[in-house]
Amino acid sequence: MDPVRLPLPVVDAAPVVPAVAKPFVHFAVLDDLLNAARANSLWPLTFGLACCAIEMMAVGASKYDLDRFGAGVFRPSARQADVMIFAGTISRKMGPVIKQLWDQMPSPKWSIAMGGCTIDGGPFKYPNQYAIYEGADHLVPVDVYIPGCPPRPEALIAGILRLQEKIKKGEKGDARP
């Protein structure tokens, strides 16, 4: 009778500092240029799941205008998108679809978990919940988490800027295996 439970990620007590592999040849300028270009051209996938999608639309609209940061080109095809913004609750039925969409996106790709639902289930989390995935990181690696229910548009912009910083520094996502 119990729904299939996903194994929760095991978190070590002491934070492990990842060993950064030093590339043999470092194309410093070229890499930096490419990273800067990537950071400034984050095309999100047109993909809304629930409430947060409306705020995502609001961010794309006149008052907040995500296009200022070069991130306003919402691409409906996963093949042409760079960043997946999880905007809303991820239901059990939706999980496989999201996995497939993520696999369809070309590398390098990033993801933003927008809102409480995609962080840990948010307001829909309760013991024995059967309908949702408690967090987007059960499915795909997440680069930036934005709290809120739904996060305000300013918060999403801050999240995008945080992702830009990360890309410019050449950091890989924390949750990236």
Partner 1 sequence: MSPASATPVSLDGLLLESADADFAVTGFHRVHSASVERIGDVARAYDEGAYLLEMITCEDRREDLKAMRLVYTFNRFAGDLDRHVVTVDLSGEIPGAEAPSINGVYPAANWFEREIYDMYGVTFSGHPNLKRILLPDDADFHALLRDFGRMEDAES
Partner 2 sequence: MPTTLIEQFGNPAIAIATGVGGVMTVLSLNALFLIWLERKVSAWIQRRMGPMEVGFHGVFQTIADMLKLLGKQLITPKGIDKPLYHLAPIVVFAPVVAATSLLPFSKSVAISNIDIGLVLIFVFGGFAVVGIFMAGWGSNNKYALLGAMRSVAQNISYEIPLILSALAVVLMVSAVGREVPIDGEIVALNGLNLAHITMAQVHWTWFILVQPVAALIYFISVLAETNRAPFDIPEAESELVAGFHTEYSGMRFALFFFAEFSNMFIGAMVATVLFLGGWEGPILPGPVWFFLKTYALIFIMMWVRWTYPRLRFDQLMTFCWAILIPLSILNLLVTALVIKVVQS
Partner 3 sequence: MRQSAGPTLERTDEADTYYLNMGPQHPSMHGVLRLLLKLRGEEIVTCEPVIGYAHRAHEKMAENRNYIMFIPNTSRVDYLSGMIYNIAFCQAIEKLCSIEVPERAEVIRIIACELNRIQSHLLWFGTFLLDLGGITPFLYCFDDREEILDILDRVTGSRLTYAYGRFGGVTMDVDQDFLVRTLAFVKRIRSRFPMYEKLVGENVIFRERCEGVGVITPEVARQYGVSGPTLRASGIGYDVRRAEPYGGYDRFDFEIPTRTAGDCMARFEVRMAEMEQSCRIIEQAVAAMPEGPIGPKKLVQRLKPPEGMFYFAVESARGHFGQYILSDGSNTPLKLKMRTPSFSNLSAMETVLEGTMVADTIAIVGSIDIVMPEIDR
What is the contact surface with partner 3 in residues (CB under 8 A)? 45-51, 53-55, 57-58, 61-63, 76, 78, 88-89, 91-94, 97, 101, 123-124, 126, 129-132, 149-150, 152
**Residue holding tokens 């913004």?**
85
The stretch near partner 1 (CB under 8 A) out of 14-22, 58-66, 109-117, 129-137 is: 129-137
Which residues, 6 or more positions from 65, have their beta carbon under 8 angstroms from its beta carbon?
Answer: 59, 72
Residue 118 parent element (H or E): helix 116-120
Q: Does 82 bind partner 2 (CB under 8 A)?
A: yes
Of the candidates 32, 106, 129, 174, which one interacts with partner 1 according to CB under 8 A? 129
Compare residues 44 and 121 and give the one whose CB is closer to partner 1. Answer: 121
Task: Report whether 41 contacts 72 (CB < 8 A).
Answer: no
Q: CB under 8 A: which stretch of 29-37, 93-101, 124-132, 150-158 binds partner 2?
A: 29-37
> With binding defined as CB under 8 A, does residue 54 bind partner 2?
no
**Which DSSP state fits 70?**
T
For the record, the structure tokens of 127 come out as: 């013991």
Per CB under 8 A, does 7 bind partner 1? no
Is residue 156 within 8 Å of residue 129, measured between CB atoms? no
Residue 160 parent element (H or E):
helix 153-168
φ and ψ of 14, to 5 deg: -95, 130
**Minimum separation from the CB atom of position 35 to partner 2 (A):** 9
Amino acid at 103: D
The answer to the question of residue 108 lying near partner 2 (CB under 8 A) is yes
Tell me which residues touch partner 1 (CB under 8 A).
Answer: 1-3, 92-93, 126-131
